[in-house]
Amino acid sequence: MTQVRDTSLEAYYSIERLGEKQRRVLAYIKAFPGSTDRELAQMMNCADPNGVRPRRKELVDLGLVVECGARVCRVSGRRALTWRAR
């Protein structure tokens, strides 16, 4: 029998309490790991990355999303942080 780690339980209960926008952003980050905020916003048909950024930050604060590097963003053409689900 495998044992469930405390961190796995914490993540599970955190996901259960997510709002609809947080769930949507998390789903896109899981589907497209290594994306920037602007890339996520474009894929989600958000005109402004500020529609995505606050939810992504909340997911980071909950420990569900982590920074995974930096590269030139395909939308802005500038160097930006990239994200992945934990």
User: How many CA atoms lie less than 13 Å away from 49 in the CB half-sphere?
Assistant: 13
Residue 3's pLDDT is what? Answer: 58
**Strand 65-72, strand 79-85: pairing:** antiparallel
pTM above 0.85, yes or no: no
What per-residue string of b and e applies to 2-34 under the rule 16 or more CB within 10 Å gives b?
A: eeeeeeeeebeeeeeebeeebeebbebbeeeee
Decide if 82 contacts 70 (C-beta within 8 A): yes
* Tens of pLDDT, residues 39-80: 999 999 998 989 999 999 999 999 999 999 999 999 999 999
pLDDT category at 85 given cuts 50, 70, 90 is: very high
* Tens of pLDDT, residues 1-31: 455 565 655 665 566 788 999 999 999 999 9
Residue 17's pLDDT is what? Answer: 82
Residue 14's pLDDT is what? Answer: 63
C-alpha angle 18/42/72, rounded to 5°? 105
* Tokens read off for 33: 């790991």
Domains and CATH numbers, the chain: 18-85 (1.10.10.10)
